[in-house]
Structure 1
Amino acid sequence: MKTFIKDFKNLVKLRLTLLVVFSASVTFLIGQKIQIERANIDHINWKNWLILIVGGFLVTGAANCFNEIIEKDLDKLMTRTKDRPMPAGRMTTGQGLVLGLVMGIIGTRLLLILNLETGFISVFSILLYAFAYTPLKRKSPIAVFVGAIPGALPPLIGYLAALGHTTEFEVMDYQIAIILFAIQFVWQFPHFWAIAWVLDDDYKKAGFRLLPTTKRDKISAGFTLASTLLLIPVSLLPTIYGFGGNIIAVVSLVIGIWFAWLAIKLFMKLDIDSARKLMFASFIYLPVVQLVLLFNLN
């Protein structure tokens, strides 16, 4: 049983999946609070929140499962992935395919309960991640841009799920959904590139080309720094567009400057230690910004 649990955690990439689910669940609550303020609903629908969490977990797990099926032979070449269940031989690709399909079908069915948009976007996310981003990783650094799209869809999915089956969309709803997507989309770049910098030697064994120049050089570090600087004004959009308060603006500015400072240090030193600090900072940045926004809505 212990081995099965470990294999399942590796198969669905548990930490990544939980981050995705967290993002969607927080933005669902943001959407619900906005609906309450408009007097469209009386209280947060916790049942739908749980449906989103379970459905989102299964759909994300399915996408990661398909990714590992496609990359099974490549995972054998890398130190950090060679012990995953399929490359290690503890699970066949057929078993992985069945598990992925079951998770994907059940997860999508659950999300369709919330509304059609949530279900359809989730399916689109699976297809884009598994069948566009995954093969592109060996061909071009453009894979990071492609991968950032499904990576930024969870907050969009969460917000749309919060609207339920209403057909009364306001202009602000579109603005909020796009802004939530934009923050996570821009965040993906320093996040991806910091990871790629740290793991570049391992990635090269499988032929993955994820750094902007495919090398740990000044240009790659410059792109990473530029993305953290771009994230600062993007993170202020909730306050600029009037649905976020002053506290989220201050927090976003402070944590954004800190994030950018770590990217500056990477640009100056070009070392793995600086990239690792930036990588861990990226794990802190997104949850902090989303949680503070949840509690500082106008």
Structure 2
Amino acid sequence: MKLSDFVKLVKFRLTFLVVFSASISFLIGSKVNGYINWENWAILIVGGFLVTSAANCFNEIIEKDLDRMMKRTSDRPLPAERMTTGQALVIGLFMGILGTYLLQKLNLLTGFLSVFSIILYAFAYTPLKRKSPIAVFVGAIPGALPPLIGYVAAHPQIDDIALILFGIQFVWQFPHFWAIAWVLDDDYKLAGFRLLPTGKRNLPSAVITFISTLILLPVSLLPWLYNHSGMYLAIVSAVFSLIFLYQAFNLMRTLEIKAARSLMFGSFLYLPVVQLMFLFDFIGK
């Protein structure tokens, strides 16, 4: 197996972003404890990479025939027949078992949440993508679990900080998903995916995307409102949320793919900036 095929199989860029999100939340949880266990941080990164890669691997096995229909995914190793389903299944099971083993060594809650995220992403969100736009809501749950997993890996309880980290990433995913779905709608339709709010590039879909971005503004300020961060986070979150909101408004105004692409790239910048500011400006409980 070529390295390039493995990179595509595990969706390396997506996996990297997931692990980054979890690692930042681990450091926030460590600040609650008052110390950082760097060995556990390394275990989280390796285990998180393996578990996320396994979920993506199972997703590609299930969608192998659908990926063949879309230009964006037709060169993945399974639809391009450079790898068999059996080979991918063995790789996915190995990564899932090893990753879960490593994460449960940190604590059982971390291990449980990791298994739950794999099941929900691969076996609930994946098949729903062809049935209903509700798939985006379902997919937002495992998509928001990485910061929760990272936090409880360091501080093994689901408290208000854990829920805030989960909430920010959960709400963020709606404009993020829908911007991507708007840009790739033509390709998605080839495989029968229905991910836009109304199933179409139209004003109601853009309005719903704008509303989700609007909700993100107060949610991003929750760390400050609950006295877990200082004014720096509040200012940065407000500024980036307003920029993000303007991009969503521009999509609603123009209904153009160009505007959706701008919103999509804005989403890639928004989340790491807010999470890093939460870490740097964290003031505890």
Instruction: State the TM-score, normalizing by the size of structure 1.
Output: 0.94
Task: Count residues in correspondence.
Answer: 283
1:205-238 residue CA offsets vs partner (Å, 9 max, x unmatched): 0000000000000000001100110000000000
Instruction: Return the letter of the residue paired with 2:3.
Output: I
Work out whether 1:31 is the aligned partner of 2:23. no
Aligned to 2:44: 52
Work out whether 1:222 is the aligned partner of 2:207. yes
Identity of aligned residues (%): 69
> How far apart are residue 34 of structure 1 and its match?
1.6
> How far apart are residue 5 of structure 1 and its match?
1.2
Structure 2 Cα separation of the partners of residues 114 and 104 of structure 1: 16
Aligned to 1:203: 188
Q: Residue 86 of structure 1 aligns to a residue in which SS? A: coil
Unaligned runs of 5+ in 1: 37-42
Aligned to 1:109: 101
Q: Residue 227 of structure 2 aligns to a residue in which SS? A: coil
> How far apart are residue 35 of structure 1 and its match?
1.0
Work out whether 1:254 is the aligned partner of 2:239. yes
Aligned to 1:146: 138
Structure 1 Cα separation of the partners of residues 185 and 176 of structure 2: 14
Q: Residue 77 of structure 2 aligns to a residue in which SS? A: coil
> How far apart are residue 127 of structure 1 and its match?
0.2
Work out whether 1:287 is the aligned partner of 2:272. yes
Instruction: Return the letter of the residue paired with 2:48.
Output: G
Structure 2 Cα separation of the partners of residues 60 and 223 of structure 1: 29
For residue 2 of structure 2, the aligned residue among 4, 8, 23 is 4
Aligned to 1:159: 151
Alignment root-mean-square deviation, CA:
0.8
Q: Residue 278 of structure 1 aligns to a residue in which SS? A: helix
Q: Residue 39 of structure 2 aligns to a residue in which SS? A: helix
Q: Residue 80 of structure 2 aligns to a residue in which SS? A: coil
> How far apart are residue 22 of structure 1 and its match?
0.3
Find runs of 4+ consecutive structure 1 residues off by over 3 angstroms. Answer: none
Aligned to 1:40: none
Structure 2 Cα separation of the partners of residues 244 and 292 of structure 1: 9
> How far apart are residue 73 of structure 1 and its match?
0.2
1:148-199 residue CA offsets vs partner (Å, 9 max, x unmatched): 00000001001100125xxxx5xxx611111100000000000000000000
Instruction: Return the letter of the residue paired with 2:75.
Output: D
State which drifts further: 107-116 or 3-12.
Answer: 3-12
Structure 1 Cα separation of the partners of residues 144 and 150 of structure 2: 11
Q: Residue 88 of structure 1 aligns to a residue in which SS? A: coil
For residue 136 of structure 1, the aligned residue among 118, 124, 128 is 128
1:43-101 residue CA offsets vs partner (Å, 9 max, x unmatched): 31110000000000000000000000000000000000000000000000000000000
> How far apart are residue 264 of structure 1 and its match?
0.3
Structure 2 Cα separation of the partners of residues 163 and 284 of structure 1: 27
Q: Residue 131 of structure 2 aligns to a residue in which SS? A: coil
Instruction: Return the letter of the residue paired with 1:23.
Output: S
Instruction: Return the letter of the residue paired with 1:22.
Output: F
